[in-house]
Structure 1
């Protein structure tokens, strides 16, 4: 085995495409194909398969092997970064997992800008997914560090910022004149939610989720702009972290919950003892940045 083979396997697993995998690791498509074929021949097993649409996916044995491959590549990256640190350099990659429906674009952009200014030779590779996906990526070494909503089990966390859940209703809704909304007042409301487990998780934090308190979900949509348009038209209400709200809300009123429901947002690693120097720098920079960000908001 060599690193080119292992990098090709991970890139194929992440992208599901030989073309995209080749682009990601700066090789030709034929080189990626040859690397995978050589690895499979050496191991004597099939690691990837294609469906009728040409999408690549891991076989059962491939799924068992890939966590070990990711761990090997992460260790190799750490070794290289440690060597650069000894030379007085800070360069390499940090793989960051972000939660689409929880981490606001402004927060993410501000954090990345701060890190890039401090360490221009460090590259951040961004992975975006649902809350459960990011948690799994941290545990499986797909990412070096990722955003989580605290408390988060099985990982080591640092609090970065605190957000607040709020309810969004149209301007002619019966609740629009309220200063805050209780869980009891939401029981008969119909919700419009994102097509992810994150939305369900947020509802559970509000108080829904048990057999006696099942939410009435009228619609699910993938795009937040679509959800807000549907709320504006009176098709239902929704809930979002306050920092996820657009700067201009026309025809919609955000209402806090009573009692307030804070969201503690942190950055997590699998093990603080085994992180790369680049990941340590990212976390240190994030802690410094967080004070300025919270003061601004």
Structure 2
């Protein structure tokens, strides 16, 4: 058993395809297939089921072994990065998780700064729902991820604070108000993103999603689509202030009463065991955040 075989196993799980795994690893399909077969032969178990199309699925033993394999590879990467740092070199791979419904501008700004400071660090971006980011951190699929605080079971660092706003079309009955209360939202049809994060935002806005069905009218995957639907009067939405377009056309953004702050942070499974790349990324984000405190915030 060697790291190359373990890496082939994990990449096959992540891609679900021998073709994609080979492309990702820069190997031939036969090399990947041979590595998996050799690993299964040595362990004496079948890790992945194959069919005629080559699509793979985890077996029960494979699921359990995968958890240990990911942890082992993550620690091996952390060891290599620390060894390189001892020689004044900063390089390696950083697996970064994010949900674009939360902080796309923060991600872009911090990533730009990180790349400029550490050009030899390879960043692999994982995009998913908020709950997926939590699970990726816990399962060692990613090294660090943007999360909504508080986040239990993982170690997090506050990066920035945002505010939840209500977005309504021009001419809507609420558009002339200075603030919007939870009671005024209960009779409105909401247009929200298809994510667990949306339900958290609705609950923070005072809508009791767990006790009663939330007033969801539509769900869409793209924020641009949601904005267009609100503009056309199909409903209203809840949105972090950072995600507001720079120029509001046909819509009005209103703060909630009481205000609903959103704490955005970066989380790792363990700060003590985090890779050097993950630690440097958090430090870079904190430095960026400190600079932002001197800039005026754009009001809702």
TM-score range for the pair, normalised by the shorter chain length = over 0.9
SS at match of 2:163: strand
- Out of 191-200 and 167-176, give the one that drifted further: 191-200
Shift of 1:141: 0.7
Q: 1:54 to 1:34 in 2, by over 3 A?
A: closer
SS at match of 2:272: helix
Q: Match of 1:10? A: 10
- Out of 229-238 and 258-267, give the one that drifted further: 229-238
Shift of 1:61: 2.0
Normalising by structure 1, we get a TM-score of 0.94
Q: 1:241 to 1:55 in 2, by over 3 A?
A: farther
Distance 1:20 1:293 in 2: 40
Q: 1:233 to 1:51 in 2, by over 3 A?
A: farther
Q: 1:270 to 1:249 in 2, by over 3 A?
A: same
Distance 1:236 1:41 in 2: 57
Q: Indicate if the aligned counterparts of 1:158 and 1:268 stay in contact, CA closer than 8 A.
A: yes
Q: Deviations over 1:40-77 (max 9, x none)?
A: 22222222234687543322222211111011001111
Shift of 1:228: 1.4
Q: Match of 1:119? A: 118
Root mean square deviation, CA, Å: 1.7
Q: Match of 2:239? A: 240
Unmatched segments (≥5 aa) in structure 2: none
Within-5 A mapping of 1:178-189: 178-189=177-188
Within-5 A mapping of 1:1-297: 1-50=1-50, 55-104=55-104, 106-210=105-209, 213-296=212-295, 297=297
Distance 1:51 1:160 in 2: 45
Would you say how many aligned residue pairs link Structure 1 and Structure 2? 296
Q: 1:175 to 1:55 in 2, by over 3 A?
A: farther
- Out of 13-22 and 69-78, give the one that drifted further: 13-22
Distance 1:253 1:212 in 2: 30
Distance 1:54 1:236 in 2: 44
SS at match of 1:167: strand
SS at match of 1:165: strand
- Out of 251-260 and 14-23, give the one that drifted further: 14-23
- Out of 128-137 and 54-63, give the one that drifted further: 54-63
Shift of 1:295: 3.3
Q: Deviations over 1:81-109 (max 9, x none)?
A: 111111111111111111221112x2211
Distance 2:209 2:87 in 1: 56
Distance 1:44 1:252 in 2: 62
SS at match of 1:84: helix
Distance 1:211 1:110 in 2: 35
Shift of 1:272: 1.1
- Out of 21-30 and 47-56, give the one that drifted further: 47-56
Normalising by structure 2, we get a TM-score of 0.93
